[in-house]
Amino acid sequence: MDVDGHMVSLLALALFGVGVGFVAGLFGVGGGFLLTPLLTVVLGFPLPVAIGCGLCQMVGTATVSLLRHRRLKQGELRFDLLMLVPSALGAVAGARTVQVLALHGDVELLGRRLPLVVVVLYTAYIVFLVGSALGLGKRAKDGVEVLGYVRRGPLARVRLPPYVDLPAVPLSRVSAPVVAYVGLGLGYLSGLLGVGGGVALMPALLYGFGFPIRQAAGTGLLVLLVTSATATYAHARQGHVHLGAAMVLAIGASVSAQLGALATARLPARWLRSGLFLLIAVTVLAILYDLLRQFG
């Protein structure tokens, strides 16, 4: 398959989709934070195209997750609705940033010329992945995932009117602008890095606002769908989405994600958390290796 002038094996792409889908199902994450950098490092996709394809296949996975959680009546829809417009704006801004970086060309770094888009986005990935690992580590240390009650977090205590009540959580008098800014940041991350932002949103909901784990898991999925759809559209308009490649990934991932989710029940939580840390570490090392290779 020809992806932006780069020949990619269809079988390798399908296997990649199956692998990432299984990992996503196993660890209960979207997988975007692994898929996009690894598409570039392992399969050699140009970075903007990897972001576009990652976002495009995410529209499918976000649709399934949203429909499933809506059926289970999990999540606070008001929170999603408050974040909706700012996150879509953030997604478009993120996609624009990628375009500007890609158009900027090369930059000289330590005597070598490297594409600016690679330097900035690889750095952002490493910061994002390390930050996510620290967030997950905090969750592991505090054992917050077993919390079934609401403990008002620092973001829920901000006094910035107008306020909104979130009866499904339940939380009252939460600042609507704070929720909107969280959505804006999430959308920007999604458009910039091609990630769903679930790994960033979960700590924000659990520790920032104090959501119980069940409500946190179901919240943000409507935003994820709208953000990934908006960012996909914006990237596709810039010629960064290869629909065929994205669908091969989506088909492989959608089947194996179910198997990964089934495997989760058979493995101890400690193994799962260690596995996720290991995966994040391998991704960071792969990015660093690719960066060093381009230096060499």
Partner 1 sequence: MSSTVAYALACVLVPFGWGVLMFRAFDWWQARLRRRASQAVPPPIDYSI
Chain residues in the site for partner 1 (CB under 8 A) = 4, 49, 52, 56-64, 67-68, 229, 232-233, 236-243, 246-247, 250-251, 254, 258
Other beta carbons within 10 angstroms of residue 213's beta carbon come to: 15
Q: What are phi and psi of 68, to 5 degrees?
A: -65, -45
- Provide the minimum distance between the beta carbon of 230 and partner 1 in the complex, in angstroms, as a whole number: 9
- Provide the minimum distance between the beta carbon of 194 and partner 1 in the complex, in angstroms, as a whole number: 13
Comparing CB distances to partner 1, the nearer of 61 and 219 is: 61
In three-state form (DSSP H/G/I as H, E/B as E, the rest C), the secondary structure along the chain is CEECCEECCHHHHHHHHHHHHHHHHHHCCCCHHHHHHHHHHCCCCCHHHHHHHHHHHHHHHHHHHHHHHHHCCCCCHHHHHHHHHHHHHHHHHHHHHHHHHHHHCEEEECCEEEEHHHHHHHHHHHHHHHHHHHHHHHHHHHCHHHCCCCCCCCHHHCCCCCEEEECCCCEEEEEHHHHHHHHHHHHHHHHHHCCCCHHHHHHHHHHHHCCCHHHHHHCCHHHHHHHHHHHHHHHHHCCCCCHHHHHHHHHHHHHHHHHHHHHHCCCCHHHHHHHHHHHHHHHHHHHHHHHHHHHC
The answer, yes or no, to whether the previous bond of 212 is cis (omega within 30 of 0) is no
Comparing CB distances to partner 1, the nearer of 57 and 175 is: 57
Pair 159, 175: CB distance under 8 Å = yes
- Provide the minimum distance between the beta carbon of 188 and partner 1 in the complex, in angstroms, as a whole number: 19
- Provide the minimum distance between the beta carbon of 124 and partner 1 in the complex, in angstroms, as a whole number: 23
Pair 241, 49: CB distance under 8 Å = yes
Comparing CB distances to partner 1, the nearer of 51 and 174 is: 51
Comparing CB distances to partner 1, the nearer of 64 and 263 is: 64
Comparing CB distances to partner 1, the nearer of 6 and 112 is: 6
Comparing CB distances to partner 1, the nearer of 68 and 104 is: 68
- Provide the minimum distance between the beta carbon of 97 and partner 1 in the complex, in angstroms, as a whole number: 18
- Provide the minimum distance between the beta carbon of 114 and partner 1 in the complex, in angstroms, as a whole number: 24
Comparing CB distances to partner 1, the nearer of 123 and 258 is: 258
Comparing CB distances to partner 1, the nearer of 12 and 262 is: 262
Strand partners, 115: 106
- Provide the minimum distance between the beta carbon of 232 and partner 1 in the complex, in angstroms, as a whole number: 5
- Provide the minimum distance between the beta carbon of 34 and partner 1 in the complex, in angstroms, as a whole number: 18
